Structure 1
Amino acid sequence: MIFPLAVDRILADRPRAGVGRSVLTVPAPTGTHVVIGGHDPTNPEDGYPIGVYAATARDAGGSATTDGARALAWLRTDRPLRAAAFHPTEPLLALGTGSYDGGYFFEGQLVLLDLASGEHRYLFADDCRREVRFLEWTDANTLRLLLAPPDDWKDPAAWSEGHRVDLTRPDWRALPARSVRHKDVLGPRVPAAQPQPTPPVGGPDEDRPRPGEIRSLTLLPDGDILLTADHALLERWSARGERRWSVPADPELGGGRLAVVADGASAWVETLGPPRRDRGEFLRIGLSAGTELARLATPGPAALVTTSEGPLLVPMPAGYGERAWSRFRHGPHAIFRDIPRPPCTCGCPWDGDEDCDCDCTCPLCTVGGEAEEVWLTVVDTAVPTGDPARLAFPAAERCRRLFPWSWEPGEIHFGGPGAWVGETDLVMATVRYDGHVGGPKQGFVTRRPTGKGSSGIPSWAFPVDRTPTALDIDPSSGTVLVALRSGELIALDSTTGTLRARGHVHVRGVPVIPTALTVTGPGRFLLGTNDGRVLACHVKPT
């Protein structure tokens, strides 16, 4: 489903080499097509993108290129692309994926993509998820595969040898998903080296920095846009898509996570680094020319939050890996995810894994001790913060705990984006911790009252199966817009939580993954994507 929106302009658009690093020029019955597969997802939940394009031109060396082409088909898989082959008579494309898991196993999938309908099916059953290294149609009914051995346990030749399998089916378009089992892929051992991805065609120099994920978008009073990203600490763009200046990512600090305008002439930026999360690094950057005006390092991890008087710092415990995912907008108070961590007094020695052999209750110790209650805490703004260009922690007496972050006793909910509705209610996203890595997740978008005596029990909760990346509210229609790591965009009624619309956002036929979202006016908003673009959008009437 396509979300009912129109992309008015593509801002902050940069040249990019398709969708990844594996480019296969594959003969097709109707001409030459280029299949491009990604090898480096921004986030494990993103998956590995695969796009199919008609080759529209030839470069100086005679290779097919896809510059400006619209994707004919697009999908994401959980392993990198290794091989592709078009069916000789049907509008079908066989895709082979796979990789070494870093331990023992070569795992992958055989994917059948119907180019007429856009649907795709995973054909390998769970008992034979093998890496596919080569594909070839020998006739209309037979697909030849070279599969990696299941693992390299006592088998170093598994990296250069595999199994040849001729898979014959009378009607490939009717082949059910997960119907190819282990007994179907037994074959003789033959040479089968791992394919090496070719460099992108018709794209920029691989030595140049690749655009990274957009982390935040801030609309300035004059209509200009501030953005933070993996590849830039801070950039300023005009509403027409002209870049005024850029502060590139720092080798030590990385890019920017969030920018908060301080005094109308400057903004504080929270950096993504340093690699060790035992401190926080913040830069104050002038808005006229992008010059660095000040730098602040905190002795412990800290996050940047907003108040009506300007930016503030709040403490963030090390080792939780989220560093203030909880971003709340439009409200009378600053909010943060408060995890009380008393100082360690046990004096025990730590190893590199932060474990110790004693039975202490040290907050860094993974042995013994009960988990601390996580609270939703507000910063009282009745007391002026002083000079907004001066970044500081709020006094302890200004911090007021409202209620536990999780409304279900015993559950662990990680933070996510949020926004105030009026003076007393929050719409916020959380992800429940279940011990698993990657998707699907169990998350929620909820509305929680914060008035006097409130328990924080949601008035509604909408379940989601991926991590929410961004959230904002359009007050003109009472619509909550939520972006998910899967690339889906969801619109909810802010009063009832009722679903109004959902779907994926497409640019040139390719679904993008929104990672930042800011409402700019009635029915209008900006989307930042995981590949460094900013889209100016409006909701189409339905």
Structure 2
Amino acid sequence: MSVFEVRVDRVLGVGPFCEIGQPRVTATSSREALIAVGGELIRPQWHGRDVSDRSRPNPGWHPTAVYRSGDLTCLFQLTTCWPVNALAFHPTLPLLAIGTGAYDGGWSYEGELLLLDLSTGATVSLLAYPREVRELTWQDPETLGLVLGIPCDEDEKRFGTTSLACSIRRDDWDRATVGMLRMPYGEKPYADASDTDPSVAAAVIERLCTERGRAWTPRRAVWAVQALADGRVLAALEGIAVECWTPTSEDCAWQVPAGGTGYQVNTLPDGRTALALTQTPRSFYGGRWTSEPSVVVEVDLNGGAVRTTLQAASPTIMVSRADGRWALRDTEHDTATMTGAVTLVDPEGAHPSTVQLGRYDLINHYFDIRYAPDLLFLQGMGNKPSHDKWVVAVDTPHGRVRRLFPLEWDASRGGHLFGGCGAYLDDRAGPALVHAGAVHDRAGLLAGNTFVARRKYPTGEPQWVFTADHQATSLDVDADFVYVTFNSGELIILRTVNGAVRTRQQLRVNGHRVVPLSLARVGANRLVIGTLDGRVLDCSVAALQRSG
């Protein structure tokens, strides 16, 4: 048996403060030796897919990092369940207070007061019950001043404000324990302040970088990566339809900017062309949300020139097969305008065919299968498209729909399965799909309710099933192994023949955990991984030991 380790050899798209995405708030220590930054990464969801579910408890998506001011080295990093509103270094002790929280949109003002020990890296949540923390001030070494959100909507009538101020005096901040601060806090009404202004934090970051001769270019969410035969790597992310990295340079070779976010990249069999799908954010106008159509650009891989641009009729996802044929599936969520159409794009430019597969749902219907011999989709019942989903193939050029097999392989459990990422392979065990997904439960994502399954193709019988606790974000295969990343930060390598685990590890950069969103093989024993914070990891897979 071989045991493997995935090593991060190069980090691309790196720069100062790359761990925190867009900054929201900053604080400096008393001697200005340290700077803390609360940032904002995007929730890992887009118009075609949602990979934000984790089984409980989970650390959330809102980063805070502490840096050494001199060289901007990241010393500590953590994520929280609520946005970071306030930071305050203790005046004498190696402690950082972190206030988080937000209104839930319907009743409660929830959040946490965290205390980060800067000597150990340990974090303690101090409040016995969740409350939004809006402002923090150390009034002296023993007294912490707080501005909290009211507990719930009905308290606004009683206090005449949504903010309450209090001071908590203790002599044991350096011995903090979970939930040690309990009500009552002696709160008094406090005038509501304006929301956190991210531009102030961004100005601080820019000034620090300029003073140190560094360039700050915020990046977020590498949603897709693809590998070329010569070792080059393509990536799609916020503001960039596609960018190209070479094996020999730390600098990006070229980029194709986008007005929105690059979500998908497919390379055509000619090895000279890439297709990149982008989408602008929804906008709120006239009392309703509106969405712009997706855009697909055809890019020359020799230098990044855009050859053609195709505007879809609506927000869409791109589905492709191994011979280069591709299609767009309508993902419009507006029940008044959605059509569920699949448009089969003709490479010769003839009028495209259209097939109706029913309404698309970003939780239920995502099914992106690498190397597939067919254009594969998930299709549900006509009046309840999220139910009774089948894997179907749509033939070109005329759009004949063939039902292959139910997504649920165990009819006895009556499960409601969600789609996911996957890949086609044909090895000594025969042709198969290896795909990820999740079993829906009304209590949220439960431990063990996500899976990676190998299914015979085209009949769908399960050959093995691997279960996990968090959603799979990306998957690729070779002749021997399945490589899967999860939104918990974990990477798992499975044997293709039987699903046996060959390695599982948390992905870290400079000792700090990262969340992988996308993954692709790049030749033998090499992977490239795109992260939630906008970096691209060039990794090698090394065998640690062998035994009989």
Q: Does the alignment reach a TM-score above 0.5? A: yes
Mark the CA change 1:290 to 1:15 in structure 2 (over 3 Å): closer, same or farther. Answer: farther
Secondary structure of the 1:21 match is strand
Per-residue deviation, 1:316: 4.7
Could you tell me which residue of structure 1 aligns to residue 461 of structure 2? 456
Q: Which amino acid aligns with 2:233?
A: I
Counterpart-to-counterpart distance in 1, 2:520 and 2:257: 22
Secondary structure of the 1:5 match is strand
Aligned 8 A contact 2:377 2:393 in 1: no
Q: Does 1:271 align with 2:286?
A: no
Could you tell me which residue of structure 2 aligns to residue 518 of structure 1? 520
The C-alpha deviation readout for 1:433-483, integer Å capped at 9, x for no partner, is: 34578x77874232232246x453452231222x322112354xx343222
Could you tell me which residue of structure 1 aligns to residue 422 of structure 2? 418
Mark the CA change 1:262 to 1:233 in structure 2 (over 3 Å): closer, same or farther. Answer: farther
Normalising to structure 1: TM-score of the pair? 0.76
Normalising to structure 2: TM-score of the pair? 0.75
The C-alpha deviation readout for 1:160-215, integer Å capped at 9, x for no partner, is: x422131536474352x2343334x333445674673432334379xx98433212
Could you tell me which residue of structure 1 aligns to residue 370 of structure 2? 329
Report sequence identity in percent.
Answer: 28
Q: Does 1:211 align with 2:215?
A: no
Per-residue deviation, 1:372: 4.7
Could you tell me which residue of structure 1 aligns to residue 378 of structure 2? 338
Aligned 8 A contact 2:280 2:292 in 1: no
Could you tell me which residue of structure 1 aligns to residue 390 of structure 2? 375
The C-alpha deviation readout for 1:37-91, integer Å capped at 9, x for no partner, is: 013534374511000112116xxxxxxxx3xx1x221110111223333446654
Q: Does 1:146 align with 2:151?
A: no
Q: Does 1:110 align with 2:124?
A: no
Q: Does 1:158 align with 2:161?
A: yes
Q: Which has the higher contact order (CA 8 A, sep 6+)?
A: 2
Alignment of 1:447-526 (within 5 A): 447-451=453-457, 454=459, 456-457=461-462, 459-465=464-470, 467-475=471-479, 478-526=480-528
Secondary structure of the 2:175 match is helix
The C-alpha deviation readout for 1:248-276, integer Å capped at 9, x for no partner, is: 1136xx43422232533322223335856
Could you tell me which residue of structure 2 aligns to residue 259 of structure 1? 266
Mark the CA change 1:165 to 1:72 in structure 2 (over 3 Å): closer, same or farther. Answer: same
Per-residue deviation, 1:375: 1.0
Structure 2, gaps ≥5 residues long: 46-51, 53-59, 211-215, 283-289, 334-359
Q: Which amino acid aligns with 1:416?
A: G
Alignment of 1:201-350 (within 5 A): 201-203=204-206, 210-241=218-249, 242-250=251-259, 254-272=261-279, 275=282, 281-299=295-313, 303-313=317-327, 315-316=329-330, 318-319=332-333, 320-322=360-362, 325-331=366-372, 333-334=373-374, 336-340=376-380
The aligned length equals 475
Counterpart-to-counterpart distance in 2, 1:317 and 1:277: 11
Aligned 8 A contact 2:482 2:495 in 1: yes
Mark the CA change 1:195 to 1:457 in structure 2 (over 3 Å): closer, same or farther. Answer: same
Identify, as 1 or 2, the structure richer in strand. 2
Aligned 8 A contact 1:487 1:513 in 2: yes
Per-residue deviation, 1:338: 2.4
Structure 1, gaps ≥5 residues long: 58-65, 343-362, 364-368, 381-392
Counterpart-to-counterpart distance in 1, 2:192 and 2:166: 9
Could you tell me which residue of structure 1 aligns to residue 196 of structure 2? 196
Could you tell me which residue of structure 1 aligns to residue 34 of structure 2? 33
Aligned counterpart for 2:75 among listed residues 59, 72, 75: 72
Counterpart-to-counterpart distance in 1, 2:42 and 2:293: 27
Q: Which amino acid aligns with 2:451?
A: V
